[in-house]
Amino acid sequence: MKNIMPQRLVLVFFLAVFVRYMFSIFSGVDNFAGPDNFRYLEQSDRILEGNFNLEEKLFITAPLFPYTLALFKLLFASKYVFALEAFQIILSGVSVIFLMLSSNLIFRNPYITLLTGVAYSIYPVTLYYAHQFSQESIFQSLFIISIYYFLLYMEKGELNSLLKFSLIFSLALLTKSIILLIFPFLMLSVLIKFRLTKKTAGHIISCVAILLLMTFPYGAYNKVVNGSYVIASSGQGGHFLTGHNDDFYIYVTNPPPRDSSEYRRLRNMDYKIFDQLDPIIEGKNHKFQQDIYLQAGINWSLENPKKFLELVWINVRNFIMPGFNILHHPFNMWLLTFMISLPIFILAYVEIIRNLYTNYKFHLTTLSIFSGMLSVAIIFYAYNRYRVTTIEPYYVMYASSFIVYFLQEKLKLLADNKPST
């Protein structure tokens, strides 16, 4: 914790926890505000009844959050809502500390580190998910913690740090599998930083081995029960078709009014193409279903090349643009998130480019996260929460760096121009 006063870490932790707790009380956003929250609630009930299969129509759910929810129900009974909310808020506060530690590793500037912690503690966009009973809160916390250990490895090259990264990253993966595409970019950054040597190859192999071992039990279970070795969550075919069909195209380009039943159908991904494919996949195993979904999505893309390219552009735009999506959120909520996020995004993009230009090897991790999540957006679709829970905390960090760098340069200039007495 060189360059960081422990007292500041403690104070920022309590600030983060306090702000998240206040948001949970006064924001009007309840624990089950998200579209998937009740599905996790139902899955946790099934687990407690002895049904451990998390296969749904379009995908197999990543296990960690439904099992965590079931555990809290088992341990705390009717008090599980309070207990789980407290756990998520505290874990989110811990992740703020690890984001500060990450900032310190990259910039070695106590002012940037402090501003990163304070800014992220009160950053409204991420507060939205902190207390919700969905994958996002626990996932984001685990992801931020794992990236700290990866940054530590990139600085010192010690295998111990890389193994800690792989262990915690695996838990994040078992919570939400979208980060799987980040992993190869991170391993590529290791090769760029340390070059391909026997030592580097051994480190990467060890890292991959930990990930495979951590995900093996769930993969083996799904192979036996569902006929497909799924290490976290599946549905690549289902997700690809979800983002490449006529209903989805309408949803992201010209959706019906939000208070209409048609809009609710589209928001719940109750797309007509899946009903049309039901007779083909009925009674088939998971792999067969996913292959059919994938082929249907590819066919639609080939038959509608103009719409396909338009969707790629929309996904890229939604990924790089700040704030919630104006088509799917109330105007006031969109405006608030846009106005708060806009300066963060602009300053972050400028600072990332500046740092990549001056010393890119120190910032390969950020570039890897960005590249992995951009790949998710291009291949499947771009949801706000995918960006908010992965790359956006680091936008706050780089925006903080820009502000401190600018102020320090300005003060230095003023000091240099101060007339001598």
Average pLDDT over residues 43-70: 93
Instruction: List the structure tokens of 267.
Output: 């928001």
Instruction: List the structure tokens of 293.
Output: 């979904």
| Amino acid identity for residue 242 in this structure | T
Average pLDDT over residues 85-90: 95
Helix 272-281 vs helix 286-303: angle between axes, to the nearest 10 degrees? Answer: 140
Q: d(Cα 333, Cα 323) in Å, to the nearest integer?
A: 9
Instruction: List the structure tokens of 142.
Output: 């685990």
Residue whose pair of structure tokens reads 């104006």 in the numeric block: 326
Q: Partners of 60 in the beta sheet?
A: 55
- Residue 417's pLDDT is 65
Band (207; pLDDT cuts 50, 70, 90): very high
- Residue 308's pLDDT is 96
Angle at 84 between CA 145 and CA 102, to 5 degrees: 15
Instruction: List the structure tokens of 93.
Output: 């506060």
Q: d(Cα 177, Cα 190) in Å, to the nearest integer?
A: 21
Count of CA atoms in the C-beta half-sphere (13 A) of 257: 3
Residue 74 has φ and ψ, to the nearest 5°, of -65, -40
pLDDT digits (tens, 9 = 90+) for 5-42: 788 999 999 999 999 999 989 877 777 666 678 889 99
| Amino acid identity for residue 43 in this structure | Q
Q: d(Cα 211, Cα 94) in Å, to the nearest integer?
A: 23
Do 103 and 4 form a contact (C-beta atoms < 8 A)? Answer: no
Helices (H), 108-196: 110-121, 124-130, 135-156, 159-173, 182-194
57 pLDDT more than 80: no
- Residue 273's pLDDT is 95
- Residue 366's pLDDT is 96
Helix 272-281 vs helix 246-253: angle between axes, to the nearest 10 degrees? Answer: 160
Instruction: List the structure tokens of 103.
Output: 């900032």
Query: What end-to-end distance do the CA atoms of the chain give, in Å?
Result: 40
Do 107 and 99 form a contact (C-beta atoms < 8 A)? Answer: no
Q: Partners of 55 in the beta sheet?
A: 60
More confident residue, 71 or 231: 71
pLDDT digits (tens, 9 = 90+) for 94-123: 999 999 999 999 999 999 999 999 999 999
| Amino acid identity for residue 147 in this structure | I
| Amino acid identity for residue 167 in this structure | L
pLDDT digits (tens, 9 = 90+) for 346-368: 999 999 999 999 888 889 999 99
- Residue 291's pLDDT is 92
Q: Check the CA dihedral 145-146-148-152 and report its sign.
A: positive
Q: Check the CA dihedral 407-411-412-413 and report its sign.
A: positive
**Percent of the chain having pLDDT more than 70?**
96
Instruction: List the structure tokens of 401.
Output: 């760096």
Angle at 112 between CA 184 and CA 357, to 5 degrees: 50
| Nearest Cα to Cα of residue 31 among 61, 72, 75 | 72
Do 110 and 86 form a contact (C-beta atoms < 8 A)? Answer: no
pLDDT digits (tens, 9 = 90+) for 117-172: 999 999 988 888 888 888 999 999 999 999 999 999 999 999 999 999 999 999 99
pLDDT digits (tens, 9 = 90+) for 168-193: 999 999 999 999 999 999 999 999 99
Helix 64-76 vs helix 80-107: angle between axes, to the nearest 10 degrees? Answer: 130
Do 138 and 38 form a contact (C-beta atoms < 8 A)? Answer: no
Q: d(Cα 335, Cα 287) in Å, to the nearest integer?
A: 42
Average pLDDT over residues 398-406: 95
